[in-house]
Amino acid sequence: MNFTVDELCRSKTAQRKGIDNTPTPSIRVNLEKLIVNVLQPLRDKYGKPIIVDSGYRCPKLNQAVGGAKTSQHLYGQAVDIHSVSDSVKDNKELFDLAKQMIENKEIVVGQLINEYNYNWVHISIPDGKHKNQILAIK
Ligand SMILES: [Zn+2]
């Protein structure tokens, strides 16, 4: 496994603002699902490291970073990722691979979002409202 739950809870903003971003047991379960069902299969196929920007966000942290009020990040169901170079080209490659894996039914996601022209990639596990939605936010 290339990812840990702790890694998905780490946040520079939380650190700086003294926000305790410790997940509850049920949120931890979601983060484990996110790793096992989505992130790791993507990482295995990608064959290169994937950088995690932001996974779980407690309500205080979500507010501090201006996250949506219904964000799946609040439940440990979503993660923002990018390539090592963080270039548009390499982030697009990562996005396109995830998209292809969804289409080939190799992974089931909630949402896959190209955020601001491949600035980063948001990917989540399914919940009641989201399943295999592929979107772009401009
Ligand atoms: Zn996100």
Query: Phi then psi for 82, rounded to 5 degrees?
Result: -155, 170
Please give the pLDDT value at position 44. Answer: 98
Residue 44 Cα to ligand 1 midpoint, Å, equals 21
pLDDT digit string (tens) for the chain, length 138 residues: 999 999 999 999 999 999 999 999 999 999 999 999 999 999 999 999 999 999 999 999 999 999 999 999 999 999 999 999 999 999 999 999 999 999 999 999 999 999 999 999 999 999 999 999 999 999
The 3-state DSSP composition of the chain as helix, strand, coil percent (nearest 5) reads: 40, 15, 45
Number of Cβ within 10 Å of residue 57's Cβ equals: 27
Task: State the distance from the centre of ligand 1 to the C-alpha of 46, rounded, in angstroms.
Answer: 20
Q: Which residues surround ligand 1, an ion (CB under 5 A)?
A: 80, 122
